[in-house]
Structures are given as C-alpha cells and as structure tokens.
Amino acid sequence: MSTNKMWGGRFSRGPDAIMEDINTSIDFDKRLAEQDLAGSLAHAAMLGAAGIIESADAEKIRTGLETIKAELAAGTFPFRRSFEDIHLNVEARLAELIGDAAGRLHTARSRNDQVATDFRLWVRDACARADLMLKALQSALLAQAETHAETIMPGYTHMQPAQPVTFGHHCLAYVEMLERDRSRFRDAGKRLNESPLGAAALAGTPYKIDRAMTAKALGFDGPMRNSLDAVSARDFALEYLSACAIAATHLSRLAEEIVLWASPAYGFIKLSDAFSTGSSIMPQKRNPDAAELVRAKVGRILGAFVGLLTVVKGLALAYAKDLQEDKEPVFAAHDALELSLAAMAGMFGDLTVDAPAMRRAAEKGYPTATDLADWVVTNLKKPFREAHHIAGAAVARAESLNLSLEKLPLSELKSVEPGITDAIYKVLSLEASVNARTSFGGTAPLRVREQIAFWKERL
C-alpha cells in the first residue's frame, strides 16, 4: 500500500480498510465546507500580509479557494473518501487547481485549530438560525393570542380543571418560554465567538502570524487566549446542544397539548390537512403525526447532548481523535430542532380553534370555586383558609345536585355560609373569573392585550 501523502513520510504504508472506515469523517464533516473555505481564505490572506508566504502564492491560493467555493455552490466539488476529512479534500482539490502553491496554505496552522475554527463558525451560524426560527414560532403563537385574547378555556393543574384562562394567555406562555430559548442561543453565540485559528496543533506557532487579523476577518471578537484550550474546547458545542434540548422540551410540551387538543375528547382545535395524516385501515382518522414527531424529537436532541458530554468528560488536554465524534450529534440535533421549529410554526399558524368547545370544557370542574372563596374573604372578612373551606363545601353541595356553582341556588349557598348574598353570582361566571385576574401577567383580556402589544413591538 502507498504512503498517505497528507500524513507525510512517517508512515510507509497506508491505513487498513477498517482503519480508513473508522477514521474517515468526510461523509459528515463535508457540512463544514463553507466554514473551512472561509477559514482558509482568512488564513491565506494573513500569511500573505505578514510576509510568511509570497503574495503571489497567497493570490493563487485565494483564486483556487474561490474556484472551490463555486464548485461547492454548483454541486460539482469532488468529495473523496480517500481524503479523510473536509480539510484534506479542500487541500487536495486546491493542489489540483493551483499546484505546489497549495502546500503553503497549511503553514502556521494545524487541522486541530482548523477544525475548531470551522466548527465554531458553523455552530455560531446555527445559533443565529435557531434564534430566527424561534422568532417565527413566537409570531405564529402571537397571532393566535391576538385572535383569542378573550376566548375562554380551562386552565389545568395536575391535568385537572383549575381556573378559567384565555387561549391567548395560554399561547403567550409559550412565547415567553421561546424568548428564553432565544436568549440561550444568543448567549451561546456570543460566548463561542473567539477564534481558535493560529493555535496550531496545541502550542501555537513560531511564525509571526496575526491572529487578530484572521479573527476579525471571520467575524470573531478576537483570538482565544490559550492555545491548548483553543484546540480542545468543545463546551461551545455542548452549550448549543443544551439550548437545543431545552428548546426541544418546550416544543414537546406544546406538541403534547396539540395532540390532546386535537383529540375528540377535547376537540379544542382542528389541524389542517397539511399537518394531519390518515390511517391505513380506519378512514375516519385524522392523526396529529407532525405534533407527535415533534414531541419525539426531544429524545434525539437530548441524546446528542448526553452523547457529546460523555465524549468530552474524560479527555486530557489537548486534542484527541475522540473529538471527531463531536460533529455528528450536533448536526443531528440541529436538523431535528430546525425541522421541529418549522413544523410547529406551520401547525400553529394553520390550526383552527373551536371556542365553544373550549368554553364547554372550562365550565366543568367548578373552576370558579376560588372566586367564591375570594368573595368571602373580601366581603365577609373571613380568613382565606376559612373561605377555602366554605367554597369547598359549596362545591360538594353543587356536585351532589349536579349543578354548576353559578346555578347553585342562594339558599344552598346560605346553608353553607349564612352571610353569602346574591352579589356572589357576579363573580361566579367564567367571564367574571377571567376578567378579575388583572394582576400583572394575569389572564384578564386587558392584561393579555397589554402583553400582545409588548410582544408585537419586541418581535
């Protein structure tokens, strides 16, 4: 077998076929091609400006890399497994295009700082895309919130009817969650925005390079301050995966609600044909498969986070080949999250709300019992714990008569607490309960519209 040209003269034979299979990463790290070219263009320009290579060679390298960029855009770049990764594929193609000058590109750098730079650039872009896609979902939720600022639905605790809320208020809860997700991606993008390029293999380089120049060219805030950390750190990828996992968990919660709401048992919403499927043998079925798949994606994304955390937990400084296993989980989590965000934005922008069904459900379970207790506290000046007991007794009485609290006769209420008057009925309707929740962040339509205005301006 022939010597591997990229590894140099240390090896007299090429790798075994099994070694080649386990070592080769081009099948997945070709996704870093755009970032690899950007890093190489910045590095070549710096080498030329610093006089480390001849300006003529720097220009040849630039021209060759621009040709490769065009080939990648056209889909004609020849990816080859014989060159194990994206870096060697680009370098080999560059040599075919410009000859010996291509060999000067790798001066003062290593694949260690090269891949760390490429990966940071890719994750930085992924953070920015996640932010934009989360914003699109927020906008879809906000549109539903504005339409349904007064649409009453049951609010649940322990999946039991608790107090009435509005569907608009419910939608805005997810807008808040997604904003925190956006902030996590933005923070991760800021924290990772330092350049490893120039750290070389692990110790830096004796060449008089200008790391600030390449950092600026690539949009980094500056170069990383420690060469060992620069080539070995993958916490930026872990932070990205952590943000993905938390965001996916929020999507999964929303997906679970869509599945419940779309079922005949609830009947709160109807998904369009675009986001429903049928059954192979039951013609009546409308299955919320998109929501179910979004709900399931969190397993894949969380698995990616745990998997990479396990890879890096025991690695001594600096670079080890274990770190080749960093990209596949990140790519997989990225793809699953972006697909989930697109699907969820589509579903929520497209669903139809059955307001009467929501209201009927909100009438069940005596949801205004707390309002009764609050009335007793305010009007009869009783301690809340005593008022709570009175309201509970009234619920028991209404339940025995199969009546709602709103329909329970005054005589029955007086049998529980003689001080109760007919003024109590002003607080026992669903509308009265919802409208009374005027504290900041409450479900009263007045407050919901205030939050809608806030989010419309912010988004």
Q: Which residues are catalytic?
A: 158, 279
Pair 307, 327: CB distance under 8 Å? no
How many H helices and E strands in the chain?
18, 4
Helix axes 86-98, 55-74, angle to 10 degrees: 120
Peptide bond into 318 cis (omega under 30): yes
Tokens of 26: 């081009």
| Residue 51 half-sphere exposure toward CB, CA atoms < 13 A | 1
For residue 103, give every residue at least 6 positions away whose Cβ sits within 8 Å of its Cβ, in sequence order, or none.
95
For the chain, the distance separating the N- and C-terminal CA atoms, rounded to the nearest angstrom, is 60
Pair 161, 367: CB distance under 8 Å? yes
DSSP calls for 145-199: HHHTSS-EEEEEETTEEEEEEEHHHHHHHHHHHHHHHHHHHHHHHHHT-SB-TT-
Give me the phi and psi of 313, to 5 degrees please.
Answer: -65, -25
| Residue whose token pair is 């060992």 | 228
DSSP calls for 230-297: HHH--HHHHHHHHHHHHHHHHHHHHHHHHHHHHSTTT--EE--GGG-B--SS-TT--B-HHHHHHHHH
The burial class, CB within 10 Å (0-12 / 13-18 / 19+), for 403 is middle
For residue 365, give every residue at least 6 positions away whose Cβ sits within 8 Å of its Cβ, in sequence order, or none.
154, 160, 161, 162
